[in-house]
Amino acid sequence: MRTIEWDSGVVRMIDQRKLPHEYVEVEFTDYRDVARAIKEMYIRGAPAIGAAAAYGLALAAVHSEAGSKSQLVADVRIAADVLRETRPTASNLFWALGRMLARLEDESLRGVDQMRQALIAEAEDLAEEDVEVNKQMGQYGAELIEDGYNILTHCNAGGLATVDYGTALAPIRTAWKQGKRVHVYVDETRPRLQGARLTAWELMRDGIPMTLIADNAAGYFIQSGKVDLVFVGADRVVANGDVVNKIGTYKVAVVAGENGIPFYAVVPTSTIDLSVESGDQVPIEERDAEEVTHVRGQLIGPEGVRVANPAFDVTPHRYVTGIITEHGIAYPPLAKSLRALCATKKG
């Protein structure tokens, strides 16, 4: 199941707003429409957003009327500025744009046609690498899962949050394929219900046993001894190991820590931002009030009620047992181990 793909100058993606009741694919030929799709959450999840941004720049290059290298670079940079403004928290968005823009600096590219083809190829490589990286994380994470384990997740960090396969769901999928009996408690994840709509849909589609629970029930199941592990994804992990993820993650991590339950974030190294020292320096996206006041278009609160709707929160690194990446698992002190893993990536 590909969340997003390129097809001869067209970007095709699953419209995740429609799931689980409708499976709809939409197509875009303009980078501005891809930017809108990211902002309006047709596509979401840090790795998937990164891939969408990369494909958006490929679209900008393909449909640019530039006749010179300098003009094509200018057009692509304008597109990058538009895409950069869509979601402020996810690290992969900025990483992908930086990688694509760096490709344009290759002096061996001769002429605008070569530059266009190079950007398409770079976006395709980025997407393919995402799938392989997820599978590698799945292998490392599956080693932590014993037969019969119950695992709690929050938000959606499955194939829909990536190009394919997933981050936090990757170890679960891998363990299941290895023949381990696993069961997943799925937080509903208010206000956009990514757990209820997306994670539940993915796990049921794969035949992996799961139970959907209200967000406020997570503490009950953890305290009752019914949870063995917590796996979450992240939109950004910073240098000291703080994890920035979907709102509600911090609460789960604190309760897990209070009850001695291991809490792991599963992220590719492209989500790790060593340029930011701590989570309180990360901009937290504030989304529309209607996400809180309405469910499927139905008003659930008083008309005109005041709303705060932060999309993410920060889990301090002291609550994080480890961070699973494609290069292995980082354990405390995370400031040291994360740098080592990112150095492995560069090597």
Q: Per-residue pLDDT tens for 1-31?
A: 899 999 989 999 999 999 999 999 999 999 9
User: Which pLDDT score is estimated for 105?
Assistant: 85
pLDDT at 347 over 60: no
For 151, list phi and psi in degrees, rounded to 5.
Answer: -120, 135
User: Which pLDDT score is estimated for 110?
Assistant: 83
User: Which pLDDT score is estimated for 111?
Assistant: 87
Q: Of 185-194, 309-318, 337-346, where does mean pLDDT reach its minimum?
A: 337-346
pLDDT 10s digits, 27-65: 999 999 999 999 999 999 999 999 999 999 999 999 999
Q: Of 135-149, 157-171, 205-219, 332-346, where does mean pLDDT reach its minimum?
A: 332-346
Band of the pLDDT at 344, cuts 50, 70, 90? confident
User: What number of CA atoms fall less than 13 Å from residue 336's CA on the CB side?
Assistant: 3
pLDDT at 327 over 70: yes
Band of the pLDDT at 296, cuts 50, 70, 90? confident
CATH number at 4-133: 1.20.120.420
pLDDT 10s digits, 163-204: 999 999 999 999 999 999 999 999 999 999 999 999 999 999
**Angle between helix 111-142 and helix 91-104 axes, rounded to 10 deg:** 140
DSSP 8-state assignment for residue 339: H
pTM comes to 0.94
Both tokens assigned to 233 = 């994804």
**Does the annotation count 235 as an active-site position?**
yes
Residue with tokens 């994380």: 137
Q: Which of the following CATH numbers is that of domain 136-346: 1.10.1200.10, 3.40.50.300, 3.40.50.10470, 2.30.30.360?
A: 3.40.50.10470
pLDDT, average across residues 135-161: 97
pLDDT at 76 over 70: yes
User: Which pLDDT score is estimated for 109?
Assistant: 84
Helix (H, G, I), strand (E, B) or coil at 249: helix
DSSP 8-state assignment for residue 310: B
pLDDT, average across residues 281-297: 93
Band of the pLDDT at 151, cuts 50, 70, 90? very high
Inter-CA distances, 347 with 126, 275, 341, Å: 18, 19, 10
pLDDT, average across residues 300-327: 97
Residue in 314, 162, 171 with CA at minimum distance from that of residue 230: 171
User: Which pLDDT score is estimated for 346?
Assistant: 59
Mean residue pLDDT of the chain comes to: 95
Question: In angstroms, rounded to a whole number, what is the distance separating the alpha carbons of residues 269 and 199?
Answer: 23
Question: Which residues are bridge partners to 6 per DSSP?
Answer: 11
Domain layout of the chain by residue ranges:
4-133, 136-346
pLDDT, average across residues 231-245: 97
Q: Of the listed 235, 242, 288, 313, which one is catalytic?
A: 235
Burial class (CB in 10 A: 0-12, 13-18, 19+), 262: middle
pLDDT, average across residues 85-111: 91
User: Which pLDDT score is estimated for 1?
Assistant: 84
pLDDT at 345 over 80: no
